A = this chain, B = another copy of it.
Amino acid sequence: MPARLEGRLAAPDRPSPGDHCPIDRALAVVGTRSALLLLREVSYGTTRFDDLAHRVGISDAVASARLRELREAGLLERRPYREEGQRTRQEYVLTASGEELLPVLLALAAWGRRHTDPTHSPRFTHAGCGAEVEPEVRCAAGHVVALDDLVVSG
């Protein structure tokens, strides 16, 4: 059963949501495999351009374009660093906005673990207690919400 639509969204001739849809607005920033995998890598602590491009498996040109978009959208920032005797380089770190994309990455990981060939999937656990981490959809009152319990009103 699908979600229940209310308000303008329930009209039979409702228009294409476009900019009114926060999912679409998010995808304008992170709607590519390379953007999401770069965010995964920075979330895992990779900071250097060469390592990011290599671990995501993309060309330097794609990595460069995507990292610039993610900086312009405020998910990543660049910081200078310098190792002894080397020239100054730039490293990439998440902003607070970038850290808030974690539920998207973990929801993709949970779906991938369950619904694609489970070759060597890593485990995601809570550092504090060791329990498995899995994103759930709950309402502010704490109820688990399945698709047919969801109301979308716009």
Contacts and interface: CB of A to CB of B under 8 A. Distances in A.
B127 A4 contact: yes
A21 B108 CA distance: 10
- Interface residues of A, dominant DSSP: mixed
Instruction: Give this chain's copy count.
Output: 2
A102 interface: yes
A85 interface: no
A151 B126 contact: yes
A81 interface: no
A150 B126 CA distance: 5
A124 B101 contact: no
Contacts of A105: 23
Contact of A40 (B21, B28, B129): B21
A99 B150 contact: no
Interface residues of A, number: 93
A151 B131 contact: no
30 contacts: A2-B42, A2-B44, A4-B127, A5-B44, A14-B55, A16-B55, A21-B112, A22-B110, A22-B112, A22-B121, A22-B122, A23-B36, A23-B40, A23-B112, A27-B37, A27-B108, A27-B112, A28-B33, A29-B115, A44-B152, A74-B115, A97-B115, A100-B111, A104-B111, A107-B107, A122-B152, A126-B141, A127-B151, A131-B141, A132-B140
Given A9-B44, A23-B109, A32-B33, 16 more contacts: A16-B57, A18-B57, A20-B120, A23-B36, A26-B112, A27-B36, A31-B32, A44-B152, A99-B147, A103-B107, A103-B110, A104-B104, A120-B154, A124-B150, A126-B149, A131-B139
